Structure 1
Amino acid sequence: MRKVLLPTLIIIAASLLVIRIFYLQVIDDSFKLKSENNAIKIKYDYPERGYIYDRFGKLLVANQSSYDIMVIPRDIKEDLNVTEFCQLLNITKEDYYKRIEKAKVYSPRLPSVFLSQLNKSEFAAFQEKIRKYEGFYFQKRSLRDYEVDYGANIFGFITQVNERQIAKNPYYNSGDLIGKQGVEESYEEILRGIKGVKYIQKDKYNREIGSYKDGKYDTIAVQGEDITLTIDAELQKYGEELMINKRGGIVALEPKSGEILALVTAPSYDPGILVGRQRSKNYTLLYHDSIAKPLYDRGLLAEYPPGSPFKILTGLVALQEGVIDENFSVSCHHGFSYARGRFMRCHCSGGQLQLHRAIYQSCNSYFATSYMRTINKYTKPAAAVDVWSNHLKTFGLGEFMGYDLPTGKRGKIPTSKTYKRMYPNGGWRSTAIVSNAIGQGEVVMTPIQLANMMATVANQGYYYTPHIIKKIEGKKIDDKFTTKHTTSIDKKYFPPIISGLFDVYNMGTASRLKVEGIDICGKTGTAENYTKINGVRTKLKDHSIFVAFAPKDNPKIAIAIMIENGGFGATIAGPIASLMIEKYLKKKISRTDLETRVLNISLRSEYAKLGGMKEAEAIESTPKDSVLKAKIVTPKTPTPKTEPTKTAVDTTKKN
């Protein structure tokens, strides 16, 4: 057996080697193509990116023609008139030499982008004289053409790939465009399409003499796939208008599917300013605006104490753990006294409260008691906190939610480990962490988590992972967006909570926010807001929070609103919730009094305290103008918009 083993291994290895050589030399001659690279010029044909539509088929993002000036450094003639060349392209000599050096670093023999995203007018002037400038040629590309001036945080933008991305993915070459942020990044591979490639034979004088091998290796560009978003464009636009001169986020979901109906962050900007030759300057201005932070998606990234809306979960967990029932009552004297002489203030009307009234009057005393009973049910507080925490995690809290946008935060739901770090010597009890009961303490959530919480309550115990993709042309969306997630709370405990939320609008903290003909269930919230100013912990105006869903029976929308420094929940966030719900369900607004009030509210003076009035003056949170309205660079010659080329697709989708 041993005598046969070695010869067998040698024969097998030799056979594999012969097969591989045969494949490379006879079947696959792409390596031959690469070996002849010095005599071949590669031209790419860039496809159109896929179009983007809203849930009703409204075209949101199309394409427009653009041109890049490409350069092959070694082909540039020494007698090139640099002065004339720079004047033609409206650049400085310093900029010219800087770009040439950058191209040489990439490769003296390979093409790279010298100047990108020229519009038709700019390109026309260069095209007339291009023959004078050997080493330079133009590459036609397709840029985004935004049909709307809102939703920048949803779309993201297109930018040039960097060296790290090129090294990571061989699909991209220097100067190629790639989606960044929003759906442009999440669905890049679907939207980008497939580049076409043409191989051109050159002679010994570097002149083009025709297709290499009669086009044997050439490929045709394949257009990107169209995608349909779950977004209601009109609701998105309206939400951004309501957030003028405010900071915060709005997230609206369809409870039965997890589809994102609106994802608003404020301040925002017109997505069109990140297209064309001025995009880099404009992006730099947006990026360095440390006051307004327009590139920071507050709906997905901002973590806030949830405040009183968290009482919904406190009540559900207490019901599930059997420490309270609907008839359990607490006596409130506008405050809940507990150990060590500390005191939790309460703004309800006081008296003896059961679960129903405790919800619609938002009684701190009731939910603090319920929380402590939950923790005290177990001998060890650490074990109790983990039981409580595990219930909350089944609502998608304290973890990344898995939605199809490239950014997000976990939020925070404390566990026993949290308090072991805070109290290394032990000895802590329910009284030390009771602030969790009312959404303060160590609990923080993002607006999308708050919205998902309300969708789960609306569904009486289940939710679908929030997502922004509704349909991909010719493809199926990810199964995880149609997978039901069920909480650890029995369905029977949701109706009493929902009944209390319904009366928040009838006789509670949102009674002045009712909308005729719509049964809304909601909860106001006011979260304490501390920050450091000049190194000193300073209390600022509270955050205004509101969560809701409607209608009460067969809910069609769940929503969360967070307004930084907005004050009481019913002051700004509550009216916005009512208006957004009515806009979605009725497509019109009857509460014009609320609309007028919200549009006229400006919190710029509050934000001025954070960065100084001079910086705050720059805040211009409008749907049509950038947050850096006075500084944003717009082209001297506006880029002409072209009609969408996919007319057949466009027509059918609009219908």
Structure 2
Amino acid sequence: MQYLEGRRYVVMAIFIVVGLLFAGRLFYLQVLDDSYKAAADRNTLQRQVQIPYRGLIYDRHDSLLVQNTPVYDLVVVPREVRGLDSAKFCRVMQLSIEDLRLGLRFAKKYSRVKPSPLLQNLSTPELAAINDHLIDFPGFRVQARMARAYRTQNLAHALGYVGAITPAFLEKPKYAKYQPGENVGISGLEAYYESTLMGQRGVQYRLVNVRGIDKGPFRNGQFDTLSVAGQDLHLSIDAELQAYGETLLAGRRGSIVAIDPKTGEILCFVSAPHYEPQMLTGKGMGNRYMDLLKNPNRPLFDRPLMATYPPGSVFKIVNELVAMQLGVVGPNTGFPCNQSLIHCTHRHEYPANLNIAIKNSCNPYFYQVMRAAVVRHQSPNGFEDSRIGLGQWQKMVKSFGLGEKLGVDMGQEKRGLIPSPEYYDKHLGYHKWNFKTVYSLSIGQGEIGITGLQTANVMATIANRGWYIAPHFVRSIGKEGQPLPEYRQRHYTAVDTTLFKYVIPGMCEVVDGRGGTAPLASLRQFGISVAGKTGTVQNSHGFDHSAFAAFAPANDPKIAIAVFIENGGFGGSAAAPAAGLMMEKYLRGKVANYHHRMEDWIKYGNLTIKAHH
């Protein structure tokens, strides 16, 4: 009995001790809670998003093109604004009352607890003046961010630009994690590779007292996350070639696109007229953008991707390959230069075979080539026969990457147009047209439309004897990386690869043969054979456009190029010498001194008259 009584006292003692410990713990927690409440009364917990370092952009030789530079913005957190003297604030900040109200209205609409930009890209004097007075304006602070800076004056159309994210962007789910004032790629490569360049955001939680003074990290930074820098882009662009091309077309309107046929890498991408990329960065960017937008020469228009032209005689090569695949012509097929069918631009020898026809760009010859491809008596009804034949022709032509987007790593690419039977049914009526209605397609005229990029890609396809890799700008994501998977795949045309060899000798004769249409593109003096084709593109709005497309060296192609010069006249007079100079620059690394006269012709000459050596 005494034993049980003793155990009862022991158990009671244990309960008392546990109760005292629990009460002490509660007291401690209450004191701690009170201390945090007191700290909360004295401090504000701020969630600060850490913007990562945006990836850099290099050319194919690792020359830096685009980097980052620090800039400063005045931001506002609406919940923290107290007792604002608007008149004094606007006087100090050199801001109008209307702009202040507009900025605060937007900030409140976006978030009452997150910072929103009020003034961006502050100059050093502005920053100094603002810092001296910030203590008088709770809720306002200066925030640093990184802006784009350019080491090049070229390539603006491909690089694109970065701008502060707009309210319209913020409403899209894709940009849900962005905050007002943050940078985002607006166009070009900056936009296409935004997620790659941007990296991953970090977050810091800071305690700031009522005077706006940083009191240090919250809970020793245990809830913070680090930002991860964006990945660099290594482009296939040759910066020297790009600069040279922009210089050649300065003052002109047109485009130059060059591709490495074996890889699909874009070597240069000239859109003329051009502008310098730094115009769309920094303070006053909005005004400069509007000036470019209103310019009647449309410098913002991305001609290699968006301007579609009839390709002219350049397209004859594609038509010939399609006709050979259909078995209706061969390399030794001859047709008379019958000008009752279509006008021929100049007198030349009888087109007894394909080589002679290509060298002289004989219009009646290629009229008859396409007629043989389309009119194949597959239906007793002549209109239906043309519908069937044109449908088969269109499908094979589109396999060259025409009439469809090639999938280049930029937005705004145009499809162009390779007209179908349905197209003509819609515009002319069912069974109301036949080959004689659409014969202008045989010489690359009429309704057909092709971009400069697509034309260069056709040359790359012929250079490769029947295949291409989708053209692209980024050869490596990160120093040791690769292009995206879609830029490592071959695309084959509907034409047998064994047939391409038959068009190349004639293309070489265009440049180096006696009586060829493009002697000004020749690099024979350097031991380099060029395979090319001129085009003089009819233009209903003015003087003809000059076109030329080629690849070199013909036996081991390293560059495929397409040049369009608007209102440049004969293909052999303007576009051909420009292409020759570009190929010389790329393959030799320099242009011979005696070619300066030709450079001046492209830059300053009256292209409406025929050029001479």
- Structure 2 length normalisation: TM-score? 0.86
Select the residue among 263, 270, 285 that pairs with 2:269: 263
Point out the structure with max Rg over C-alpha: 2
Select the residue among 162, 167, 172 that pairs with 1:158: 162
Kindly report which structure 2 residues correspond to 1:494-573, keeping only aligned pairs within 5 A, or say none: 494-506=500-512, 507=514, 508-515=516-523, 516-517=525-526, 518-530=528-540, 539-573=541-575
Deviations, residues 325-347 of structure 1 (Å, cap 9, x unaligned): 122111115x242xxxxx44443
Percent identical pairs in the alignment equals 38
| Contact persistence 1:62–1:146 (CA under 8 A) | yes
Q: Does 2:316 correspond to 1:311?
A: yes
Kindly report which structure 2 residues correspond to 1:422-461, keeping only aligned pairs within 5 A, or say none: 422-461=427-466
**Separation (CA, whole Å) in 2 of partners of 1:256 and 1:208:** 57
Q: 2:544 is paired with a residue of what secondary structure?
A: strand
Deviations, residues 192-251 of structure 1 (Å, cap 9, x unaligned): 122221122467999865433332221112211111001000001111101111111111
Unaligned residue ranges in structure 2 (runs of 5+): 1-39, 379-384, 609-613
Aligned to 2:281: 275
Letter in 1 for 2:130: F
Report how many residues are paired.
Answer: 552
Aligned to 2:7: none
Letter in 1 for 2:520: R
Letter in 1 for 2:169: Q
User: Displacement of 1:162 after TM fit?
Assistant: 2.2
Aligned to 2:417: 412
Deviations, residues 30-78 of structure 1 (Å, cap 9, x unaligned): xxxxxx9x96321122222111100011111111111111012343343
**Separation (CA, whole Å) in 2 of partners of 1:109 and 1:49:** 26
Q: 1:145 is paired with a residue of what secondary structure?
A: strand
Letter in 2 for 1:561: V
**Separation (CA, whole Å) in 1 of partners of 2:202 and 2:47:** 10
Residues 117 and 602 of structure 1: is their aligned pair in 2 closer, same or farther, counting only changes over 3 Å? farther
Unaligned residue ranges in structure 1 (runs of 5+): 1-35, 338-342, 531-538, 605-655
Q: 1:463 is paired with a residue of what secondary structure?
A: strand
| Contact persistence 1:246–1:603 (CA under 8 A) | no
Residues 577 and 352 of structure 1: is their aligned pair in 2 closer, same or farther, counting only changes over 3 Å? closer
| Contact persistence 1:464–1:483 (CA under 8 A) | yes
Residues 206 and 66 of structure 1: is their aligned pair in 2 closer, same or farther, counting only changes over 3 Å? closer
**Separation (CA, whole Å) in 2 of partners of 1:442 and 1:79:** 64
Residues 273 and 122 of structure 1: is their aligned pair in 2 closer, same or farther, counting only changes over 3 Å? farther
Q: 2:73 is paired with a residue of what secondary structure?
A: strand
| Contact persistence 2:58–2:65 (CA under 8 A) | yes
User: Displacement of 1:118 after TM fit?
Assistant: 2.0
Select the residue among 279, 284, 308 that pairs with 2:290: 284
Deviations, residues 121-170 of structure 1 (Å, cap 9, x unaligned): 43233223322222210111011110011111111111111234323132
Q: Mean alpha-carbon deviation: is it higher for 309-318 or for 277-286?
A: 277-286
Select the residue among 234, 238, 244 that pairs with 1:238: 244
| Contact persistence 2:519–2:572 (CA under 8 A) | no
Letter in 2 for 1:464: I
**Separation (CA, whole Å) in 2 of partners of 1:103 and 1:490:** 62
Kindly report which structure 2 residues correspond to 1:30-429, keeping only aligned pairs within 5 A, or say none: 40-80=45-85, 82-83=87-88, 85-86=89-90, 88-167=92-171, 168=173, 169-201=175-207, 209-289=215-295, 291-333=296-338, 335-337=339-341, 343-349=342-348, 351-379=350-378, 380-429=385-434
Q: Mean alpha-carbon deviation: is it higher for 192-201 or for 368-377?
A: 192-201
Q: 1:414 is paired with a residue of what secondary structure?
A: coil
Q: Mean alpha-carbon deviation: is it higher for 575-584 or for 103-112?
A: 103-112
**Separation (CA, whole Å) in 2 of partners of 1:565 and 1:89:** 51
Q: 1:466 is paired with a residue of what secondary structure?
A: coil
**Separation (CA, whole Å) in 2 of partners of 1:570 and 1:402:** 30
**Separation (CA, whole Å) in 1 of partners of 2:508 and 2:212:** 78
| Contact persistence 1:245–1:602 (CA under 8 A) | no
Letter in 1 for 2:350: G
| Contact persistence 2:65–2:150 (CA under 8 A) | yes
Q: 2:177 is paired with a residue of what secondary structure?
A: coil
**Separation (CA, whole Å) in 2 of partners of 1:371 and 1:318:** 7
**Separation (CA, whole Å) in 1 of partners of 2:605 and 2:366:** 32
User: Displacement of 1:90 after TM fit?
Assistant: 4.1
The alignment's C-alpha RMSD in Å is 2.2
Q: 1:529 is paired with a residue of what secondary structure?
A: coil
Aligned to 2:14: none
Letter in 1 for 2:403: G
**Separation (CA, whole Å) in 2 of partners of 1:423 and 1:278:** 51
Aligned to 1:588: 590
Q: 1:374 is paired with a residue of what secondary structure?
A: helix
User: Displacement of 1:270 after TM fit?
Assistant: 0.9
